[in-house]
Amino acid sequence: MPSDLRKELKQQRPFKNLAHEAYLSIQRTAAILQHDFESALKPHGITATQYNALRILRGAEPQGLCRNEIRDRLVRQVPDVTRLLDRLEDLGLISRERGGDDRRYVTTRITKAGMRLLSDLEAHIDRIHDAQLGHLDEKRLRILVSLLADVRQRT
């Protein structure tokens, strides 16, 4: 009997092995979850990675963070964090300030406009997460979180 993923992808042949099926299942699930999330952000003119950076900076208030600290905390790695921050600054959602003694050190902080945007999005994003994962009880969610952590630790 074909797996649910094989049916969903209209794949005729079996997967090479169970690990291959698990990998593709993770990728397919992530793509579906990400699409819903990005669709909610699009009307606000930001991407999922920009949203992630804003949330990181909100959590770092009031001291802010340097570019590398933001880079290290992002859920999805990006090749050019400076450009990511440039776009957020152009939108007025963050501000950057050079350090006193070391002019190379730039502290990035979220602006009031960035805080308002996150506040405006919060309930909508919560509804999306609930629609995507709310059907799983706490025990199953903990198992899922644990399994995914195990996978990440091996990579």
Residue 1 pLDDT > 60 = no
Q: Region 68-79: what's the mean pLDDT?
A: 94
Q: pTM to 2 decimals?
A: 0.88
- pLDDT band at residue 155, thresholds of 50, 70 and 90? confident
Sign of the C-alpha dihedral computed for residues 15, 16, 22 and 23 taken in this order: negative
d(CA 65, CA 110): 10
pLDDT, tens digit, for every residue of 84-116? 999 999 999 999 998 767 667 899 999 999 999
- Phi and psi at residue 68, to the nearest 5°: -65, -35
- For each of the domains in the chain, give its residue range(s) and CATH number, in order of start: 45-153 (1.10.10.10)
128 band by pLDDT with thresholds 50, 70 and 90: very high
Under a CB-based contact definition with an 8 Å cutoff, are residues 70 and 57 in contact? yes
Chain centroid to CA 91: 19
pLDDT at 6 over 70: yes
